[in-house]
Structure 1
Amino acid sequence: MLPSFSEHSLVLRGPYLEKMTDDEFFDFCQQHPELRIERTAHHEILIMSPTGSRSGKRNARLTFQLGKWCEQHEELGEYFDSSTGFALPDGSVKSPDVSWIVAERWNSLTPEQQSRYAPLCPDFIVELASDSDDVKELQKKMLDWQHNGARLAWLIAPKTETAYIYRAGQSEPEIMQGFDQELSGEDVLPGFRLRLAELR
């Protein structure tokens, strides 16, 4: 395995990793529960640094807001926190900061699939940028989510109070400036409103 470093992650690549099966990758992650690990479509392994305290606070508030909506709409689907990995159609395994899956799709999975990295792309995801994140790199990740089937995806950058809204079938995201407003769950999460001011 040949490691390289980016600002926030260690990247492992090599012939062995290219041949690593989904089960072997899952087992690798279970052997290192203290690490935040993702895999690219090219089977490179990304080991990321822990979230800073401010980002952790923001992510907790984000998850709490979605959780309150989900409690009132349990029959519509399931929501997941930032430690949840998904095996996406392009062969990557990614963990968004917050995600949600329509009940019918979640319930169609076997118990074994639900206990590992669910082999599907969430219908809704949120990526929350930390103050030191490269937003351009996160925008590339958002396109991955979109191409893998996310119907609605938000990239939220508190440092610049900017939200990027990605919708299925749209080539460019909508950009919203300012946190004195709310994001709408639209037809994917009907009635859900995210108060951006809580993420300052």
Structure 2
Amino acid sequence: MLMTASPTLETLPTNLQTVDEFEQWQRQYVSEGSYEFVRGRIIPKPSMKQDEIDIADFLIRAFMQTPQFAQKHTLLPEADSYVDGVRKRIPDLTYFTAEQRQAIRNGERVKTLFAIEILSDSETFEDVNAKIQDYFDGGARLVWYIAPKLQKIYVYTSPDESKAYKGQEVVSAAPVVPELQFTVAELFA
């Protein structure tokens, strides 16, 4: 039976072990809402809030000025990123190459090379660290965590190496999209 509303935390199944099982359940029972799947846990993924939309819009527009955009690479909001057979994340923004987009059209599951997350009030330190680890486990080369309240961007080049940028400091998406760069102040203007 197809559900017409999103399941509640109390009605989410707890017996799913793989992304395949999760996606089969999702096709049968979920008609709205997004969910991440991490080692048997189904994690509701709230949609982007209006104050986050401005940040996403700025980043997408800046990306559209890069050679990578002209080469049919893309920066998409809230697209699936597969880590492995037991983890699927949904970054706030994710970068896919033209080759990855073709793989998606061919029915393959792809992993992000560059994930951007916008810190929400409900996320814990453990949540942030788990996401960063998952992205790098899946092959990401770069992860940005944007903290709007602090007006900072944390740039991760590995799960254990990061640098915080603020104010007039220039942040760059090198080595993935080197031409995507701007000052942090521009993002929060």
Does TM-score exceed 0.5, indicating one fold?
yes
1:24, distance to aligned residue in structure 2 (A): 0.7
In 2: Cα distance, 1:99 partner to 1:166 partner: 14
SS in 2 for 1:140: helix
The verdict on how the C-alpha distance between 1:133 and 1:92 changes in structure 2, with shifts beyond 3 A counting, is same
The verdict on how the C-alpha distance between 1:177 and 1:165 changes in structure 2, with shifts beyond 3 A counting, is closer
User: Considering only aligned residues, what root-mean-square deviation do their CA atoms show, in Å?
Assistant: 2.8
In 1: Cα distance, 2:104 partner to 2:148 partner: 38
Question: Of 48, 52, 55, which residue of structure 1 is paired with 2:49?
Answer: 52
Equivalence map 1:80-119=2 (5 Å): 80-82=76-78, 84-107=79-102, 109=103, 111-113=105-107, 119=109
Render the CA deviation track for 1:89-132: whole Å, top value 9, x for unaligned. Answer: 2421211111112323433x16252xxxx512111111111345
In 1: Cα distance, 2:63 partner to 2:136 partner: 20
Corresponding pairs, count: 179
In 2: Cα distance, 1:86 partner to 1:179 partner: 30
Letter in 2 for 1:67: M
Please tell me whether residue 156 in structure 1 is matched to residue 153 in structure 2.
no
Equivalence map 1:126-141=2 (5 Å): 126-141=116-131
Render the CA deviation track for 1:131-172: whole Å, top value 9, x for unaligned. Answer: 4533442122111101111011111112123322222xx452
Question: Of 186, 190, 194, which residue of structure 1 is paired with 2:178?
Answer: 190
Corresponding residue of 1:122: 112
Identical columns (%): 20
In 1: Cα distance, 2:92 partner to 2:46 partner: 14
Corresponding residue of 1:32: 31
The TM-score with structure 2 as length reference comes to 0.77
Aligned 8 A contact 1:89 1:120 in 2: no
The verdict on how the C-alpha distance between 1:153 and 1:45 changes in structure 2, with shifts beyond 3 A counting, is same
Aligned 8 A contact 1:158 1:199 in 2: no
The verdict on how the C-alpha distance between 1:146 and 1:198 changes in structure 2, with shifts beyond 3 A counting, is same
Unaligned runs of 5+ in 1: 1-8
Aligned 8 A contact 2:104 2:110 in 1: no
Please tell me whether residue 21 in structure 1 is matched to residue 11 in structure 2.
no
